[in-house]
Structure 1
């Protein structure tokens, strides 16, 4: 793992858990790979490179991911002077 990836992982962890999980924070942690998560069909490692990354917040005791977030660079060029984020929410049936 290169320094950039390590720094990004530490940066993501520094966000802490969402407020709604503060009371049960000992049950959840960040996960940067699908291994061990039972409610996913992803077999490949999460993409984690230059400005593209994916992570989950999961419960290691149950093996269940609470949610997974994926940030990636898009090949589409937008004509905007202001930076922005496109959020795509994909809800699992589990």
Structure 2
């Protein structure tokens, strides 16, 4: 693993865990699908940390399930050169377990991403807010945000210091 990838992994691990996951869960950060080799659970896959692009999950070792997933990356340098804007694209921010939704987990990691974007001198974070994305098709919607609520969730966190642009 390159130094760049190791630094990115450490950065995310250092974000820590939100209160909702600290007490009764045995959680690890996972950056690959290795944990799922003998795992029968369904759901999100394709975790990685490569060249500044990251898709990670919080995995409960006792329950043997993914609790949360997040994926983001910096927009390619050629596009950034053309637009003269440095952008982080948030692809996925998702609390898998319905009992954990609306407990501040997604907010916690979005705030961490905002801080990271500021520290990296990004111009803004770009998000396609889609409450009905294919990733969520097979999941139950209990405690999930609808499309309007999801858009408001992101808009509330947009600031002049780090704007969030919805597509």
TM-score, normalized by length of structure 2? Answer: 0.45
Query: By how many angstroms is 1:21 displaced?
Result: 1.4
Aligned residue runs from structure 1 range 52-91, under 5 A: 52-74=53-75, 83-88=123-128
- Do residues 29 (structure 1) and 28 (structure 2) align? yes
CA RMSD of aligned residues (A): 2.7
1:55 match: secondary structure: strand
Aligned length, in residue pairs = 91
1:24 match: secondary structure: coil
User: What residue number does 1:8 align with?
Assistant: 8
Unpaired stretches in structure 1, ≥5 consecutive residues? none
Determine the C-alpha separation between the residues in 1 that align with 2:13 and 2:123.
23
Determine the C-alpha separation between the residues in 1 that align with 2:67 and 2:127.
17
Larger RCO (CA within 8 A; separation ≥ 6): 1
Whether contact under 8 Å (2:5, 2:52) holds in the other structure is no
Unpaired stretches in structure 2, ≥5 consecutive residues? 87-121, 141-167
1:35-91 superposed Cα distances (whole Å, 9 cap, x missing partner)? 33433253x5x3322221110001022221011100123356556586111245656
TM-score, normalized by length of structure 1? Answer: 0.72
More helix by share: 2
Larger radius of gyration between Structure 1 and Structure 2: 2
